[in-house]
Amino acid sequence: MWEKLLELGRPLNMPWIILGDFNCIKSPAEKQLGVTPTWYELKDFVDCCLALGLHDAQTTGCYYTWYSNNDSNPVWCKLDRVLLNNDWLEAGLHCTAHFNPPGCLSDHSPGIVSIFDNPAPKPKSFRFFNMWADHQDFIPTVEGRWGLNVEGTPQFRLCRN
């Protein structure tokens, strides 16, 4: 499977996304209970992701996306994922995935992927530089603004000044 994914992904010079049940984890932390996997077992998937520049999309909901359905020997794993390539990230595209709890139809968590345009840039927070206080017009400017009569709530008046 990993060779086929490399064969398909390497020639693509554009943003792309791949999602689904990879039936493999990327680290021992992605498995709860059961036999701890060796790095040898994880290596092929990890190497494939590195070679293709694939990164996990931001997720919410269930971390573990598969359950063994065996109450006497339960195992939880993160087998389902959404992977984005470097071109996707560099293009500023955004994607999130939400995994619901496994349901009655499957032992896997159903995933909902949202792809959306670039969000509006967040306003930058105000920064004060001490050197401004040394400027000759600093005190008169501040006194002039604070001397204005502004109507509204205390928070509104503070913002207006």
Closest by CA position to 22, among listed 5, 37, 34: 5
- For 64-99, the pLDDT digits (tens) are 888 887 888 888 899 899 999 988 888 888 899 999
Report the CATH fold assignment for 2-116.
Deoxyribonuclease I; Chain A (3.60.10)
Cα separation, 161 vs 155, whole angstroms: 10
- For 33-63, the pLDDT digits (tens) are 888 888 888 898 899 889 999 999 999 998 9
Cα separation, 109 vs 102, whole angstroms: 4
Cβ atoms 59, 99 nearer than 8 A: yes
User: What global pTM score does this model have?
Assistant: 0.67
- For 93-143, the pLDDT digits (tens) are 889 999 988 776 788 888 889 888 766 667 778 788 888 888 898 888 888
User: What are the residue ranges spanned by the domains of the chain?
Assistant: 2-116, 130-160
Closest by CA position to 6, among listed 56, 50, 39, 43: 50
